[in-house]
Copies of this chain bind each other. A is one copy, B any other.
């Protein structure tokens, strides 16, 4: 460590006496590690404060010679503009917040990345957080982001009441909800057609002869879970099929819960299901595991595509939604709002795509 660059000199900073006098305010020590400020740069370059600001921001009206002197001082001191102060002065932070369920969920990776790309194109940074599907944690996170005065928010809602955001939105924090609509407030939403996708996926199973189809989904609090369940019910009803209560299991996506739910409906002594529709990629992956442990093939269609779904045997048929487009669309919408686009909240619904890979075409073992 001894060979690292020496700390920038504190030349030009006002130093109060060390004598511990109480007469005049003692500046807090080591602010930002005693980083040089524009004032320091100005003193060293022998110019005024504003001139440094002009150079730093590449504003016109500085002679080449002055500019050079300032730049030398900047390099010598290791100065870097303090964006906190800049933000305070300018009123825009050039950052947006993204609150999603779980940064580790592969479904959100491409979404996250797409949002980041758009933010980057607009010169904004991305502040990230996971709500862990906990409404309180979501609120805590969102409000913390508002306190940072992010210019905008993209939220994958965990809770079902977002009225706490009303004052923030009224105060100008652009907000776009993704994947699920906001609760109790009217706001921009970008989501996939969960209902239609699930309906098509279940219809696919029905078309291949299944009559007893199970549904394993996420917690009922989550809008997409109930929408997909609705799609399931409508598809069944369309085909004139009754649904036994034990065929439907909503709840946590924890593997143990999903395994138990799958076993219950697959091993039911009376009317076991011959096919399963899973409500999201976490559930699908677990059910794939359960099915892999069994002798008799069971048909499966899952909501959300996932990597390697095509290489499993059989390939897993899915209702695919495009997470990257979801993210990009939401971010584009957000920045258009920030650029002043007015108008009523838009509700964008993206179509899903049924990707047949085999697991949906397994015939029911007791067909006929």
Contacts and interface: CB of A to CB of B under 8 A. Distances in A.
A93 B104 contact: no
A192 interface: no
Contacts of A169: 4
A28 to B, nearest CB: 7
Interface in A240-276: none
Contacts of A311: 288-289, 292, 312
A345 to B, nearest CB: 7
A106 B109 contact: yes
A226 interface: no
Nearest to A169: B4
B146 A80 contact: yes
Nearest to A140: B120
Nearest to A137: B120
Interface string A1-38: 10111111000000000000000000010111111000
Contacts of A105: 109
Interface stretch (A65-73, A82-90, A204-212, A230-238): A82-90
A125 interface: yes
Interface in A288-310: 288-289, 292, 306-308
Contacts of A171: 7-8, 32-35, 78
A232 B6 CA distance: 41
Given A31-B91, A103-B116, A170-B78, A344 B109 contact: no
A172 interface: yes
Given A84-B93, A105-B109, A186-B1, A172 B30 contact: yes
Interface stretch (A127-135, A215-223, A351-359): A127-135
A36 to B, nearest CB: 8
A117 B109 CA distance: 17
Interface in A123-172: 125-130, 143-149, 166-172
A340 to B, nearest CB: 11
B6 A170 contact: yes
A80 B285 contact: no
A347 interface: no
A62 interface: no
A147 B285 contact: no
A308 B308 CA distance: 8
Contacts of A91: 28, 30-32
A344 B126 CA distance: 32
Given A103-B113, A313-B313, A148 B125 contact: yes
A174 to B, nearest CB: 10
A363 interface: no
A185 interface: yes
A167 B127 contact: no
B88 A85 contact: yes
A112 interface: yes
Contacts of A7: 170-171
23 contacts: A5-B170, A33-B171, A33-B172, A34-B171, A35-B171, A78-B168, A80-B146, A80-B147, A80-B167, A81-B147, A83-B148, A84-B84, A84-B149, A95-B148, A102-B113, A103-B112, A104-B110, A105-B109, A113-B130, A125-B127, A306-B308, A307-B308, A308-B312
Interface of A: 1, 3-8, 28, 30-35, 78, 80-85, 87-88, 91, 93, 95, 102-106, 108-110, 112-113, 116, 120, 125-130, 143-149, 166-173, 185-186, 285, 288-289, 292, 306-308, 311-313, 324, 344-345
